Structure formats: structure tokens, C-alpha cells
Amino acid sequence: MGLDKLIDDCRKKRPKAQEELYKRYASTLFTVALKYSRDRAQAEDNLQDAFITIFEKLDQYKGKGSFEGWLKRITINTALQKYRKQETLELVNEENIQEVTVEVDEEDIQVDFLLKIIQELPDRYRLVFNLYVMDGYGHKEIAKMLKITEGTSKSNLARARMILRDKINTHDNKNLKSSTL
């Protein structure tokens, strides 16, 4: 079934079409949800809530731009909305923090390990890191989405990078010690 027909059938609330849409995009959107969640269970909840929103708002998709991109934005927004309802973002003093870069030797670091340490970041750092690094949003957009200042967004990104760098270095040092024994 073509995408346009599938979308049209979903708009008509046809269960088979909704099931097909879910099957087509669930794994991709689960990956997005996982980036913005503390763990798999929270990601599964966010995915389900995102699909409810997708089916409710499908009439708002006008066929302009990528359908998959539209789905991803809804998934990200669902996770952010749930986060805002659960907790108030802790404001961080906007201090002059140097830009931190994280050097990763891709041959030594497993993707599962990277995902794990990103998920372990405090929520405010994880959200800013994912929005900026993984999804390409600017600090101005992030500030608006999370209702924080641009400076706080930059500060949270720098802190997230420092934490990740430290965890990667600790991981590398453990691996180095175990390989030299």
C-alpha cells in the first residue's frame, strides 16, 4: 500500500491501516523515543503516546515535507511534554562554560554503551544533548521547547558533554587496564 493511501485510510480510522502505519514506523520512532527516555519502559510509553497523538492529529499533516520527519517531531514533542509535566526543569546558572568536545574512537566504543551513558545523563542534560547533537536543533529552538534560556541550553549541553567525556574516559581506562593484565 502506498504511503498516501495508507495516510488517507488512517485518517478514516481504519484499524488495518493504523496497524500498518504502526508496523512501518514503530522501530524508527522507538529509537527516537529511546533517546529522550531514561529507559526502555519509558521509551515504550512515550512511543505509545506518540502514536495516539499521531492518529489524532493526522489531519494536520498536509503532505508538505517528510512524513517520517513529522512523525519524529511528534515523538520528540510527546517525550518533552511528558517530561515537563513530571518535573520542573532545574535552572542552572548561566556561567561561561567552555565548549567541550568529546573524542570517540568508534572502534572501541559500542553503540549500546553510548546509548546507555546518554540515558544515564540527568534529564535536563540528556534532553538538550539529544536535541542539539542528535537532532540538530539550535539553542534558540531548544530554549523555546524546554522553556529555558539559550544560555541555560548551552550550559546544559556543555555539562552533558563533560559527563559523557568523563564516562568514556573511565570506560577507556578500564578497558586499557583489563587488556594489559
Taking only the tens place, the pLDDT of each residue in 119-153 is: 999 999 999 999 999 899 999 999 999 989 999 99
Query: How far is CA 169 from each of CA 36, 118, 122, 176, rounded to the nearest angstrom?
Result: 24, 14, 19, 10
Q: Is the pLDDT of residue 177 over 90?
A: no
Residue of 122, 115, 35, 22 whose CA lies nearest to 76: 35
Q: Which domains does the chain have, with CATH numbers?
A: 3-86 (1.10.1740.10), 111-180 (1.10.10.10)
Q: How confident is the model at residue 95 (pLDDT cuts 50, 70, 90)?
A: very low
Taking only the tens place, the pLDDT of each residue in 35-78 is: 998 889 999 999 999 999 999 999 999 888 899 999 999 999 99
Sign of the CA dihedral running 94, 135, 121, 175: negative
Q: Whole-angstrom Cα distance, residue 97 to residue 159?
A: 8
